[in-house]
Structure 1
Amino acid sequence: MSDLLPLSAYLVLATTLLVAYVIFGMAGFGSALIASPVMALYLPVAKIVPLLALLDLCAAVVNVSRDGRSAAWPELKRLVPLMVAGSLMGATILLTTRPDILLLALGIFVIAYALYALSGLKPDRQFPAAASVPFGLVGGVFSALFGSGGFIYAIYLSGRIEKKETLRITQTTLIGLSTLTRVVIFILAGVYMDSSLLLLALTLLPGMLMGITLGRYFTLKMSREQFLRILNMILLCSGVMLIVRYLS
Structure 2
Amino acid sequence: MQEWLYPMGVVLLGYTVLGLTGFGSALVVVPLLAWNWPLPAVVALTLLMDVPASAFHSGLNWRQVQWRELRRLLPGMVMGTLVGLWLVQHMNSRWPLLLLGVYVAGVGINALRPKTSQAATAAPVWAWPVGAAIGLVEMVFGTAGPLVVAWLSRRLSDVQQMRASTPLIIAVAATTVLLGMAWEGRLSSGWIWQRWTVLIGVALAGVWLGHRVAHRVPVARLRQIICALLVLSGLMLALGALR
TM > 0.5: yes
CA distance in 1 between partners of 2:191 and 2:130 (Å): 37
Are 2:175 and 1:183 aligned?
Answer: no
- Measured after TM superposition, the shift of residue 133 of structure 1 is 3.6
Counterpart in the other structure of 1:167: 162
Kept after mapping to 1: 8 A contact 2:97/2:238: yes
Match of residue 237, structure 2, among 232, 235, 242: 242
Counterpart in the other structure of 1:127: 122
Percent of aligned pairs with the same residue? 26
Counterpart in the other structure of 1:214: 209
CA distance in 2 between partners of 1:198 and 1:231 (Å): 31
Counterpart in the other structure of 1:37: 31
Kept after mapping to 1: 8 A contact 2:134/2:173: no
The residue type equivalent to 2:61 in the other structure is D
CA distance in 1 between partners of 2:88 and 2:188 (Å): 26
Match of residue 84, structure 2, among 78, 90, 110: 90
Counterpart in the other structure of 1:109: 103
Match of residue 50, structure 1, among 44, 54, 66: 44
CA distance change for structure 1 residues 120 and 78 in 2, over 3 Å: closer, same or farther?
Answer: same
The residue type equivalent to 1:220 in the other structure is H
Are 2:146 and 1:151 aligned?
Answer: yes
- Measured after TM superposition, the shift of residue 91 of structure 1 is 3.1
Deviation sequence 1:73-110 (CA, Å, 0-9, x none): 11111111111122223333333333421111111111
CA distance in 1 between partners of 2:128 and 2:159 (Å): 23
- Matched residue SS, 1:193: coil
Kept after mapping to 2: 8 A contact 1:165/1:220: no
CA distance change for structure 1 residues 109 and 191 in 2, over 3 Å: closer, same or farther?
Answer: closer
CA distance in 1 between partners of 2:204 and 2:135 (Å): 27
Kept after mapping to 1: 8 A contact 2:81/2:176: no
Deviation sequence 1:157-176 (CA, Å, 0-9, x none): 12211223321221111011
Counterpart in the other structure of 1:27: 21
The residue type equivalent to 1:114 in the other structure is G
Deviation sequence 1:141-161 (CA, Å, 0-9, x none): 212221121111101112211
- Matched residue SS, 1:95: coil
Structure 1 unaligned segments of length 5 or more: list them.
1-6
- Matched residue SS, 2:155: coil
Counterpart in the other structure of 1:138: 133
Match of residue 77, structure 1, among 56, 71, 79: 71
| RMSD of equivalent CA atoms | 1.9
- The alignment covers a number of residue pairs equal to 242
Structure 2 unaligned segments of length 5 or more: list them.
none
* TM-score, length-scaled by structure 2: 0.91
Kept after mapping to 1: 8 A contact 2:64/2:164: yes
